[in-house]
Amino acid sequence: MASPYELTPEQLRHTSDLSNLTFETTQEITFVREIIGQPRGIRAIEFGIDIDSPGFNIYVLGPAGSGRTTAIQQFLEKRAAAGNPPLDWVYVYNFEDEHKPRAIELPSGKGSQLRDDVANVIKVLQHEIPDALEAEEFASAVEKLDQDFAQRRAELQQAISLEATEKKFTIARTPAGLMLAPLDEKGEVITPEGFEALPEEERQALNSVHAELDEHLNEALRNLRNLDREHLDSRSKLERGAAAYVIVQHIGDLRERYEGHEEVLLYLNQIRDDVLDHLEGFKREDESAEEGPDSSSLPAGIAAGDDQFRRYYVNLIVDHSQTKGLPVILEEYPSYANLVGRIEGEVFMGALNTDFKGIKAGTLHRANGGYLVLRGRDILSQPDAWEGLKRALTSGVIRIEESSLRTGLGVIIPQTIDPEPIPLHIKVILVGTPGLYYALFSGEEDFPDLFKVKADFASTMDRTPESEMDYATFVAARCHESQWPHFNRAAVGQVIEEGSRMAGDQDKLSTLFGQIADLLQEAVFWAEKDQAEVVDAQHVQQAIAERRYRSDLYEELRLESIRREVLFIDTEGEVVGQVNGLSVTGLGDYMFGQPSRITARVYIGREGVVDIEREVELSGPIHEKGVLILRGYLGGQYAMLQQLALTGSITFEQNYSGVEGDSASAAELFVLLSALCDLPIKQGLAVTGSINQHGKIQPVGGVNEKIEGFFAVCQARGLTGSQGVIMPSSNVTDLMLRPDLVEAVRAGQFHIYAIDHVDQGLELVMGMPAGKQAPDGTFPTGTIHQRAYQRLHEMSEHLRHWMRDSGLDR
C-alpha cells in the first residue's frame, strides 16, 4: 500500500507545456536580446537614467555569470539611440600659456571639420605667403624701400665724413670699430709718434676737435642704427601687409564657417596674429638659408629643425562624427589612463617633452554625454582607477594629470603641461556582486553620494507561461544572432526545465542567461555533430550530461568507494542505531549529493546528546545548533514529568573533513530514537531535513543533488523497489530531478517521501506508529514514542537508584 507521504512522478519535475509554441515561431523571432525577468532592476535603471542630477549613477547588483552586463549594454543602446550625439572635443595650443592647452567643445562632427580646416589653411598659407612675398609688386615696394633707406644712410655717413674732413680728421675702420684720426698738412694720418712731437697747444687743439667729432660720430652711429631698425620695421610692415591680405582672407572664411562658436573664433584670431608674428617660418628655405633657421619663428619649446607648424595642429580627442545617438561604452580594461586619459611624451635630443599633441582621450571623454558601463571588480583591481573615477564624478570635470614617465634608465621628469579640464556629464553604470556593493557602501565614504541608485537583479524569476515564452524568445534570438540551427519545441522545453533546475525551484527560472547561452552552444555542438538540421531535446540532454561528465570525477570516485565497500553505506536491510543521512559537496560550479552513515549509541547518564564531531572540533556552528535543538526536542517530548537520564552519542562515520549545516538533524533524531527504542531503521531509505524543537520538519538546501546522490548509489547496487528518500514537504516545489530518476519513481523502483513532522518520518523508517501524546503525558502502547518514553523512564529509575545506593543523591 502506497504511503500518503509518497510523491507522484509529476511532483518531481515541472515539465514545460509549449503547445502554443511552434518551430516556425522560434524561427521568426529575430529581436535583440533585452533584460528578461528583471522588472525591479529595469525600473531602477530607468529611474537612474532619467533623473538628471549629480550622484545618481547606478550600481547593478547581481550574481556573476548572469549575462547582465551585456544585457544592460544592449538595453542602454536601445535607449541611447533616440538621443543626439554629444559634443566633440579638441585640444589646441594656448598662445598665451603654452603649458596650459585649451579645450574647445564643438557640435558632433565639427571637431574633425575644424581639425581639417585649420590643417588645410596652414597648408595653403605655406604656399601663398611665400608667393605673396615673392610677387613683383611686393619686390618693387621692397626695392624702393631699400633704396630710400640706402640713400638716407649714405647721407648720414656723408655728413659725418665731410665734417671730419673739414676739421682735418678721417674716419678709419679698425678691428675695434670706427675710429677718428687727425691728418697733417699733406692729408696723411698723423702717427702716434708724430702726434707726441707736436707742440702742446696744437695737441690740445686736436684733442678738442677729436672730442667734438667723436660725439658727432657716436650720434651719427646711433642715427644709423635707428635707421636700420626703422628699415627692418618698415620692411616687416610691408611683409605683414602683403601676408595679411592672404591670411585674413583665409582665416576670415573660417570665421564665417564657425560663426557663433566664440572659443573657435578666438582661436582663429590667435592663429592669424601668430602667423603674422612668425612669417620667417613661412618663407621658402632658400631665402633664409644664409642665416640658418630663425628660432624666433618656432613655437616656444620647439628647437630649430623641428616641425615649426605643430602649434597650429588641432588635437581631436573626441570625435562623434560617426556616432548615432548617445554613446554607450563598456570599458573592459579600466586602468587609470584608459579612464581619465593620458599625456604621451616625445624624446628629443635626450629630453622628454610633452605638448598638447600628446593628449589622449580616456573612456570618460568618449562616453561623456552618454553612458559608461564598468565592472566593479575590474576597476577596483587597477591602481588609482577607482580614485580617478571618484574624483571625476565628484568634481564634475575630467582632468588629465601627468605622472613621471619611467624608462629603463630611470625616472624622467617630462616638460609638464596642464590641459584645461573638460566638463563631465555622464551616467556611470557599475556592475558587481551584492557583496561588493555593501563593502563599498560601508567602506567608501563617497560611494553612497556617487551611486545613489541601486538596481538589484535577482538570480531567478517566476516561471509563468509568459516567462517561458521569454526563454523561448531568448533561445531563438541567440540562434539568429549566432547563426545556429534553431531549437524545436522539445529542445526549448528542455532548456526551460534546466532553467528551473538551475533556479532550484519548480516555480522559478534562472536569470543566469550567460550560463543558459553556454548550454545552448553546447547543444548546438552536439546537434551539428549529429548533422541534425534542428536542435532536439536529446541534444540538450546530451549537453547537460556531457557537462556533468566533465565535472563529476570526484563524485564517481566516491561512488566507486561505496561500491567497493571502502565507504560503508547500506541500501538494504534494517539496522538499529544507523541511518543514511544526505549531504551536498560543492566543487566550484558543480554540486553533488552523497549519503553518509550516521550512527548513535545511548546509555544511562546526564550528558544528553553528545556530538562526537563537536567534541573533536569537526563540527560547524550551524550543525552544533542543530544538535542542541535535538536536546530541546527530547526534553520537551519525554522529560516533562521525569528526568532525562540519557547520554547519547551521534557521529558521521568515516567523516574526516568536518560537518556543517543542520539538514541532517532529522536523521540524527531518527537514529538516536532507534538506538533508544532498539528499533531498526530501514537502510533502503535516506533522510534529509532539519527540525525545530517542536518536531516540525524544515526545508533544506540542495535537495535535488541529495536525492540524486542516494539514487546513484542504489542504482549502482541495483534498485529493489523499496529504496527512496525522505525529505521536507516544504521542499517539494524545489524538485527538478533528472528524467531517469523520475522514470524510476514512475516504475515503482524508487520512492520520494515528503514529510512535515518527525512522527511521519519515524513511521516511514521504523515501520511502526509514532504515537500521539495523551493529555496526561503518556503515549499509546505499541508506538515508537511509548517505547522511547518507557525506556527513558527505566533509565531514569536505574540512575536514581544507583545514585541513592551510592549516596550521591544527598
Task: Return the active site residues.
Answer: 663, 706
Sort strands 590-603 and 578-587 into parallel, antiparallel or unpaired.
antiparallel
C-alpha to C-alpha distance for 602 and 701, rounded to whole angstroms:
30
> Measuring CA to CA, how many Å separate 535 from each of 494, 520, 522?
11, 9, 11
Question: For residue 574, what is the enclosing H or E element?
Answer: strand 574-576
Cα–Cα nearest to 65, from 378, 416, 420, 510: 510
Contact at 8 Å (CB) between 371 and 426?
Answer: yes
Show the CA angle centred on residue 73, arms to residues 70 and 75, nearest 5°.
Answer: 110
Helix (H, G, I), strand (E, B) or coil at 651: strand
> Measuring CA to CA, how many Å separate 590 from each of 235, 517, 664, 712?
88, 17, 21, 16
Partners of 581 in the β-ladder: 596, 687
Burial readout 25-59 (b: 16 or more C-beta within 10 A, e: otherwise): bbeebeeebbbbbbeebbebbeebbeeeeeebbbb
Residues 6+ apart with CB under 8 A from 145: 231, 234, 235, 238
Partners of 352 in the β-ladder: 347
C-alpha to C-alpha distance for 713 and 265, rounded to whole angstroms:
84
Phi, psi torsion values for 684, nearest 5 degrees: -80, -5
401's grid cell: 594629470
E-assigned strands of 446-519? Answer: 453-456, 460-462, 508-510
545's grid cell: 550530461
Cα–Cα nearest to 728, from 751, 749, 703: 703
Contact at 8 Å (CB) between 29 and 477?
Answer: yes
Sort strands 724-728 and 685-687 into parallel, antiparallel or unpaired.
parallel
Contact at 8 Å (CB) between 613 and 652?
Answer: yes
743's grid cell: 522514470
One-letter-per-residue 3-state SS of 500-564: HHHHCCCCEEECCHHHHHHHHHHHHHHHHHCCCCCECHHHHHHHHHHHHHCCCHHHHHHHHHHHC
> How many CB atoms lie under 10 A from the CB of residue 656?
6
485's grid cell: 540551427
> Measuring CA to CA, how many Å separate 627 from each of 188, 509, 614?
135, 35, 10
